[in-house]
Amino acid sequence: MTYAIAAAGTGGHVYPGLAVGEQLVADGVARSDVLFIGGDRLAATVFPAAGFPYLKLEVRGLSRSLSLKNLALPLVVARATRRASSELRARDVRVVLGMGSYTSVPVGLAARRRRTPFYLHEQNAHAGLANRMMGRLAVTTFTSFEQTEGAVRPLHVGNPIRGDLAKFSRIELRRAAFDRYGLEPGRVTIGVVGGSLGARAINRAVIAAMSEWDDPPIQLVHLAGRDHVEEVAAAAERSEVPWVVIEFESEMQFFFAAIDVVVARAGGMVAEMTATGTPAILIPGGFGSGGHQDANSRAVERAGAAVCLGEDRLDELRDLIAQLASDPAGRRGMSAAAHAIARPQAAATIAAELRRAHG
Protein backbone atom coordinates (compact mmCIF):
# COMPACT_ATOMS: atom_id res chain seq x y z
CA MET A 1 0.00 0.00 0.00
CA THR A 2 2.14 2.80 -1.36
CA TYR A 3 1.98 6.52 -1.95
CA ALA A 4 3.56 7.95 -5.11
CA ILE A 5 4.86 11.50 -5.53
CA ALA A 6 5.97 12.67 -8.98
CA ALA A 7 8.50 15.49 -8.78
CA ALA A 8 11.31 16.39 -11.17
CA GLY A 9 13.11 19.34 -12.70
CA THR A 10 14.23 22.16 -10.40
CA GLY A 11 14.32 22.41 -6.63
CA GLY A 12 11.05 24.34 -6.79
CA HIS A 13 9.31 21.05 -7.58
CA VAL A 14 11.66 18.60 -5.86
CA TYR A 15 11.94 20.05 -2.35
CA PRO A 16 8.20 20.66 -1.79
CA GLY A 17 7.66 17.07 -2.87
CA LEU A 18 10.29 15.92 -0.41
CA ALA A 19 8.57 17.93 2.33
CA VAL A 20 5.31 16.05 1.73
CA GLY A 21 7.11 12.70 1.73
CA GLU A 22 8.84 13.51 5.00
CA GLN A 23 5.52 14.60 6.50
CA LEU A 24 3.93 11.29 5.53
CA VAL A 25 6.75 9.50 7.33
CA ALA A 26 6.29 11.76 10.36
CA ASP A 27 2.60 10.79 10.32
CA GLY A 28 3.49 7.11 10.56
CA VAL A 29 3.78 5.97 6.94
CA ALA A 30 6.77 3.70 6.33
CA ARG A 31 9.50 5.43 4.30
CA SER A 32 9.55 2.41 2.00
CA ASP A 33 5.87 3.04 1.23
CA VAL A 34 6.48 6.48 -0.30
CA LEU A 35 7.62 6.11 -3.91
CA PHE A 36 9.14 9.14 -5.61
CA ILE A 37 9.05 9.34 -9.40
CA GLY A 38 11.27 11.73 -11.37
CA GLY A 39 13.96 12.12 -13.99
CA ASP A 40 17.74 11.95 -13.96
CA ARG A 41 18.54 15.44 -12.63
CA LEU A 42 18.18 16.79 -9.10
CA ALA A 43 15.43 14.37 -8.11
CA ALA A 44 17.64 11.37 -8.81
CA THR A 45 20.02 12.59 -6.10
CA VAL A 46 17.71 14.16 -3.52
CA PHE A 47 15.11 11.43 -3.03
CA PRO A 48 17.42 8.39 -2.80
CA ALA A 49 19.69 10.37 -0.44
CA ALA A 50 16.66 10.90 1.80
CA GLY A 51 16.09 7.14 1.87
CA PHE A 52 12.99 6.94 -0.32
CA PRO A 53 12.34 4.42 -3.11
CA TYR A 54 12.91 6.11 -6.45
CA LEU A 55 11.70 5.41 -9.99
CA LYS A 56 13.40 7.24 -12.83
CA LEU A 57 11.20 7.83 -15.85
CA GLU A 58 12.60 8.57 -19.29
CA VAL A 59 10.56 11.65 -20.01
CA ARG A 60 11.18 15.32 -20.67
CA GLY A 61 9.26 18.56 -20.91
CA LEU A 62 7.96 20.34 -23.95
CA SER A 63 10.52 22.57 -25.64
CA ARG A 64 9.12 26.11 -25.76
CA SER A 65 11.02 26.90 -28.93
CA LEU A 66 10.36 25.24 -32.26
CA SER A 67 12.15 21.91 -32.06
CA LEU A 68 11.97 18.59 -33.87
CA LYS A 69 12.25 16.92 -30.45
CA ASN A 70 8.65 17.96 -29.76
CA LEU A 71 7.45 15.67 -32.56
CA ALA A 72 8.65 12.64 -30.59
CA LEU A 73 7.15 13.82 -27.31
CA PRO A 74 3.83 11.90 -27.58
CA LEU A 75 5.77 8.66 -28.00
CA VAL A 76 8.03 9.51 -25.05
CA VAL A 77 5.01 10.27 -22.86
CA ALA A 78 3.24 7.07 -23.94
CA ARG A 79 6.25 4.96 -23.01
CA ALA A 80 6.63 6.71 -19.67
CA THR A 81 2.91 6.28 -18.97
CA ARG A 82 3.14 2.51 -19.57
CA ARG A 83 6.16 2.28 -17.28
CA ALA A 84 4.47 4.34 -14.58
CA SER A 85 1.25 2.31 -14.84
CA SER A 86 3.19 -0.93 -14.46
CA GLU A 87 4.99 0.39 -11.36
CA LEU A 88 1.83 1.74 -9.76
CA ARG A 89 0.19 -1.66 -10.21
CA ALA A 90 3.20 -3.66 -9.00
CA ARG A 91 3.60 -1.50 -5.89
CA ASP A 92 -0.14 -1.33 -5.18
CA VAL A 93 -0.11 2.46 -5.17
CA ARG A 94 -3.34 3.85 -3.70
CA VAL A 95 -2.88 7.62 -4.17
CA VAL A 96 -0.68 9.81 -6.38
CA LEU A 97 0.54 13.39 -6.01
CA GLY A 98 2.05 15.31 -8.92
CA MET A 99 4.21 18.33 -8.08
CA GLY A 100 3.63 20.01 -11.43
CA SER A 101 6.80 19.01 -13.27
CA TYR A 102 6.86 17.13 -16.58
CA THR A 103 6.69 13.75 -14.78
CA SER A 104 3.21 14.66 -13.55
CA VAL A 105 1.84 14.06 -17.05
CA PRO A 106 2.66 10.34 -17.54
CA VAL A 107 2.19 9.57 -13.84
CA GLY A 108 -1.17 11.35 -13.84
CA LEU A 109 -2.26 9.49 -16.96
CA ALA A 110 -1.19 6.21 -15.37
CA ALA A 111 -3.16 7.03 -12.21
CA ARG A 112 -6.25 7.86 -14.28
CA ARG A 113 -5.85 4.59 -16.21
CA ARG A 114 -5.82 2.67 -12.91
CA ARG A 115 -8.56 4.83 -11.31
CA THR A 116 -6.15 5.81 -8.57
CA PRO A 117 -6.88 9.13 -6.79
CA PHE A 118 -4.62 11.77 -8.33
CA TYR A 119 -3.77 15.15 -6.83
CA LEU A 120 -1.64 18.04 -8.04
CA HIS A 121 0.30 20.78 -6.32
CA GLU A 122 1.07 24.12 -7.95
CA GLN A 123 3.92 26.11 -6.43
CA ASN A 124 3.38 29.33 -8.37
CA ALA A 125 0.76 32.05 -8.77
CA HIS A 126 0.49 31.13 -12.45
CA ALA A 127 -0.08 27.40 -13.04
CA GLY A 128 2.54 25.63 -15.11
CA LEU A 129 1.83 23.82 -18.36
CA ALA A 130 1.77 20.33 -16.85
CA ASN A 131 -0.76 21.32 -14.19
CA ARG A 132 -2.95 23.15 -16.68
CA MET A 133 -2.96 20.02 -18.84
CA MET A 134 -3.58 17.54 -16.04
CA GLY A 135 -5.80 19.58 -13.73
CA ARG A 136 -9.08 18.14 -15.02
CA LEU A 137 -7.86 14.62 -14.20
CA ALA A 138 -7.02 15.55 -10.62
CA VAL A 139 -9.24 15.44 -7.54
CA THR A 140 -7.94 18.91 -6.73
CA THR A 141 -4.95 21.17 -7.33
CA PHE A 142 -3.37 22.29 -4.09
CA THR A 143 -2.13 25.84 -4.55
CA SER A 144 0.52 27.97 -2.88
CA PHE A 145 -1.28 31.26 -3.51
CA GLU A 146 -4.85 32.24 -2.76
CA GLN A 147 -5.29 33.34 -6.37
CA THR A 148 -3.58 30.97 -8.81
CA GLU A 149 -4.25 31.57 -12.48
CA GLY A 150 -4.98 28.43 -14.48
CA ALA A 151 -5.45 26.03 -11.55
CA VAL A 152 -8.37 23.60 -11.90
CA ARG A 153 -10.44 22.88 -8.76
CA PRO A 154 -7.92 24.79 -6.62
CA LEU A 155 -7.52 24.41 -2.88
CA HIS A 156 -5.26 26.99 -1.25
CA VAL A 157 -2.95 25.25 1.25
CA GLY A 158 0.45 26.89 0.69
CA ASN A 159 3.74 25.53 -0.60
CA PRO A 160 5.17 22.59 1.40
CA ILE A 161 8.35 23.34 3.33
CA ARG A 162 10.45 21.02 5.44
CA GLY A 163 9.73 20.60 9.13
CA ASP A 164 12.62 22.69 10.45
CA LEU A 165 11.20 25.73 8.66
CA ALA A 166 7.55 24.94 9.37
CA LYS A 167 8.27 25.14 13.13
CA PHE A 168 10.81 27.96 12.77
CA SER A 169 11.70 30.31 15.65
CA ARG A 170 14.20 33.06 14.88
CA ILE A 171 14.59 33.90 18.58
CA GLU A 172 15.52 30.33 19.51
CA LEU A 173 17.98 29.86 16.64
CA ARG A 174 19.52 33.34 16.30
CA ARG A 175 22.58 32.84 18.52
CA ALA A 176 23.42 29.45 17.02
CA ALA A 177 22.99 30.92 13.53
CA PHE A 178 25.39 33.80 14.26
CA ASP A 179 27.92 31.32 15.63
CA ARG A 180 27.50 29.10 12.57
CA TYR A 181 28.43 31.90 10.18
CA GLY A 182 30.75 33.92 12.41
CA LEU A 183 28.58 37.03 12.24
CA GLU A 184 29.01 40.27 14.15
CA PRO A 185 26.31 41.49 16.57
CA GLY A 186 24.89 44.94 15.95
CA ARG A 187 24.80 44.75 12.15
CA VAL A 188 21.76 44.22 9.95
CA THR A 189 22.27 40.90 8.17
CA ILE A 190 21.37 40.55 4.50
CA GLY A 191 20.88 37.05 3.13
CA VAL A 192 21.45 36.38 -0.55
CA VAL A 193 20.35 33.25 -2.37
CA GLY A 194 22.31 33.21 -5.60
CA GLY A 195 22.62 29.50 -6.22
CA SER A 196 19.43 28.94 -8.16
CA LEU A 197 18.72 28.80 -11.89
CA GLY A 198 19.78 31.97 -13.65
CA ALA A 199 21.03 33.59 -10.46
CA ARG A 200 24.31 34.88 -11.86
CA ALA A 201 22.50 38.19 -12.36
CA ILE A 202 21.70 38.36 -8.63
CA ASN A 203 25.25 37.50 -7.61
CA ARG A 204 26.75 40.15 -9.85
CA ALA A 205 24.22 42.77 -8.77
CA VAL A 206 25.17 42.14 -5.14
CA ILE A 207 28.86 42.34 -6.02
CA ALA A 208 28.23 45.71 -7.68
CA ALA A 209 26.16 46.96 -4.73
CA MET A 210 28.87 46.05 -2.23
CA SER A 211 31.79 47.38 -4.27
CA GLU A 212 31.68 50.84 -2.66
CA TRP A 213 29.34 50.35 0.28
CA ASP A 214 29.28 53.31 2.67
CA ASP A 215 25.73 53.10 3.93
CA PRO A 216 24.38 51.53 7.19
CA PRO A 217 26.57 48.84 8.80
CA ILE A 218 25.49 45.52 7.33
CA GLN A 219 26.86 42.03 6.86
CA LEU A 220 26.03 39.36 4.30
CA VAL A 221 25.41 35.62 4.28
CA HIS A 222 25.56 34.67 0.63
CA LEU A 223 24.56 31.27 -0.73
CA ALA A 224 26.37 31.60 -4.02
CA GLY A 225 25.89 28.16 -5.58
CA ARG A 226 28.51 25.82 -7.00
CA ASP A 227 28.86 27.66 -10.31
CA HIS A 228 29.30 31.11 -8.77
CA VAL A 229 30.97 30.61 -5.39
CA GLU A 230 34.53 31.41 -6.53
CA GLU A 231 33.50 34.66 -8.23
CA VAL A 232 31.49 35.83 -5.21
CA ALA A 233 34.16 34.77 -2.71
CA ALA A 234 36.79 36.78 -4.61
CA ALA A 235 34.56 39.86 -4.46
CA ALA A 236 33.97 39.33 -0.74
CA GLU A 237 37.70 39.30 -0.09
CA ARG A 238 38.02 42.72 -1.73
CA SER A 239 35.06 44.21 0.13
CA GLU A 240 35.11 45.97 3.50
CA VAL A 241 31.63 44.63 4.25
CA PRO A 242 31.64 41.46 6.42
CA TRP A 243 30.56 38.91 3.85
CA VAL A 244 30.19 35.16 4.44
CA VAL A 245 30.12 33.20 1.18
CA ILE A 246 29.16 29.54 1.05
CA GLU A 247 28.16 27.27 -1.80
CA PHE A 248 25.03 25.69 -0.33
CA GLU A 249 23.17 25.48 2.96
CA SER A 250 21.40 22.24 3.83
CA GLU A 251 20.08 23.64 7.14
CA MET A 252 18.10 26.62 5.89
CA GLN A 253 16.58 27.30 9.30
CA PHE A 254 19.96 28.70 10.38
CA PHE A 255 20.21 30.87 7.28
CA PHE A 256 16.85 32.49 7.93
CA ALA A 257 17.51 32.81 11.68
CA ALA A 258 20.66 34.79 10.92
CA ILE A 259 19.24 37.29 8.44
CA ASP A 260 16.99 40.34 8.57
CA VAL A 261 16.33 40.68 4.81
CA VAL A 262 16.65 38.16 1.98
CA VAL A 263 17.53 38.86 -1.66
CA ALA A 264 16.38 35.98 -3.84
CA ARG A 265 14.45 34.68 -6.82
CA ALA A 266 10.68 34.34 -6.47
CA GLY A 267 10.24 30.58 -6.76
CA GLY A 268 10.09 28.18 -3.80
CA MET A 269 11.90 30.75 -1.68
CA VAL A 270 8.60 32.64 -1.32
CA ALA A 271 7.18 29.92 0.95
CA GLU A 272 10.31 29.92 3.09
CA MET A 273 10.55 33.70 3.48
CA THR A 274 6.89 34.01 4.41
CA ALA A 275 6.99 31.09 6.88
CA THR A 276 10.02 32.64 8.59
CA GLY A 277 8.65 36.19 8.44
CA THR A 278 11.65 37.47 6.49
CA PRO A 279 11.35 40.75 4.53
CA ALA A 280 12.46 40.18 0.96
CA ILE A 281 13.76 41.80 -2.16
CA LEU A 282 12.47 39.41 -4.81
CA ILE A 283 14.07 39.37 -8.25
CA PRO A 284 11.86 37.27 -10.52
CA GLY A 285 13.54 35.20 -13.21
CA GLY A 286 12.15 35.25 -16.72
CA PHE A 287 12.57 31.50 -17.21
CA GLY A 288 9.88 28.87 -16.66
CA SER A 289 6.20 28.87 -17.46
CA GLY A 290 4.21 32.01 -18.17
CA GLY A 291 6.30 34.43 -16.13
CA HIS A 292 5.39 32.58 -12.95
CA GLN A 293 8.11 34.18 -10.82
CA ASP A 294 6.89 37.65 -11.70
CA ALA A 295 3.37 36.64 -10.65
CA ASN A 296 4.73 35.18 -7.40
CA SER A 297 6.72 38.27 -6.49
CA ARG A 298 3.84 40.63 -7.32
CA ALA A 299 1.50 38.67 -5.06
CA VAL A 300 3.90 38.91 -2.13
CA GLU A 301 4.60 42.58 -2.83
CA ARG A 302 0.86 43.37 -2.81
CA ALA A 303 0.67 41.75 0.62
CA GLY A 304 3.39 44.11 1.86
CA ALA A 305 5.96 41.41 2.59
CA ALA A 306 8.44 42.07 -0.22
CA VAL A 307 9.74 44.51 -2.77
CA CYS A 308 9.79 43.26 -6.36
CA LEU A 309 12.82 44.29 -8.41
CA GLY A 310 12.98 43.39 -12.10
CA GLU A 311 16.28 42.40 -13.67
CA ASP A 312 16.16 45.57 -15.75
CA ARG A 313 16.39 47.56 -12.50
CA LEU A 314 19.18 45.72 -10.71
CA ASP A 315 21.17 48.94 -10.48
CA GLU A 316 18.63 49.94 -7.79
CA LEU A 317 19.53 47.00 -5.54
CA ARG A 318 22.09 48.94 -3.51
CA ASP A 319 19.59 51.66 -2.61
CA LEU A 320 16.90 49.13 -1.71
CA ILE A 321 19.24 47.25 0.63
CA ALA A 322 20.30 50.52 2.26
CA GLN A 323 16.67 51.61 2.65
CA LEU A 324 15.59 48.37 4.36
CA ALA A 325 18.73 48.19 6.49
CA SER A 326 17.96 51.70 7.81
CA ASP A 327 14.29 51.05 8.53
CA PRO A 328 13.70 48.58 11.39
CA ALA A 329 10.05 49.60 11.69
CA GLY A 330 9.54 48.94 7.98
CA ARG A 331 11.17 45.53 8.32
CA ARG A 332 8.89 44.67 11.24
CA GLY A 333 5.86 45.58 9.14
CA MET A 334 7.05 43.45 6.24
CA SER A 335 7.74 40.56 8.61
CA ALA A 336 4.20 40.75 10.01
CA ALA A 337 2.80 40.85 6.46
CA ALA A 338 4.86 37.78 5.54
CA HIS A 339 3.56 35.84 8.54
CA ALA A 340 0.00 36.86 7.65
CA ILE A 341 0.13 35.14 4.25
CA ALA A 342 2.31 32.19 5.27
CA ARG A 343 1.01 28.64 5.23
CA PRO A 344 3.78 26.75 7.07
CA GLN A 345 1.57 23.68 7.60
CA ALA A 346 1.07 23.03 3.88
CA ALA A 347 2.94 19.71 3.95
CA ALA A 348 0.86 18.50 6.89
CA THR A 349 -2.39 19.54 5.18
CA ILE A 350 -1.52 17.76 1.94
CA ALA A 351 -0.25 14.65 3.71
CA ALA A 352 -3.49 14.43 5.70
CA GLU A 353 -5.56 14.60 2.51
CA LEU A 354 -3.42 11.93 0.83
CA ARG A 355 -3.81 9.65 3.84
CA ARG A 356 -7.57 10.21 3.80
CA ALA A 357 -7.73 9.29 0.12
CA HIS A 358 -5.46 6.31 0.69
CA GLY A 359 -7.96 4.74 3.02
Q: According to CATH, what is the number of the domain 168-341?
A: 3.40.50.2000
Beta bridge partners of 282: 264, 308
- When pLDDT is averaged across residues 243-253 and rounded to a whole number, the result is 95
| pLDDT at residue 310 in the model | 94
- Return residue ranges of the chain for CATH 3.40.50.2000: 2-164+344-358, 168-341
Going by pLDDT thresholds of 50, 70 and 90, the confidence category of residue 97 is: very high
- When pLDDT is averaged across residues 147-173 and rounded to a whole number, the result is 96
Give the sheet arrangement for strand 243-246, strand by strand.
243-246, 218-223, 188-193, 261-264, 280-282, 306-308
- pLDDT of 64 strictly over 70: no
| pLDDT at residue 226 in the model | 87
pLDDT tens digits for range 175-209: 999 999 999 999 999 999 986 655 889 999 999 99
Tell me, which fold does domain 2-164+344-358 have in CATH? Rossmann fold (3.40.50)
> Is the Cα dihedral 19, 20, 22, 26 positive or negative?
positive
Beta bridge partners of 260: none
pLDDT, mean over the chain: 92
Whole-prediction pTM value? 0.90
pLDDT tens digits for range 288-328: 555 788 999 999 999 999 999 999 999 999 999 999 999 99
Going by pLDDT thresholds of 50, 70 and 90, the confidence category of residue 215 is: confident
How far lies 310's CA from each of 151, 232, 270, 294, in Å?
25, 21, 16, 8
Pick from 344, 335, 341: which is nearest to 278 by CA?
335
pLDDT tens digits for range 223-236: 998 889 999 999 99
Give the sheet arrangement for strand 54-56, strand by strand.
54-56, 34-38, 2-6, 93-98, 118-122, 141-143, 154-156
Q: What angle do CA 152, 156, 158 make, to 5 degrees?
A: 125
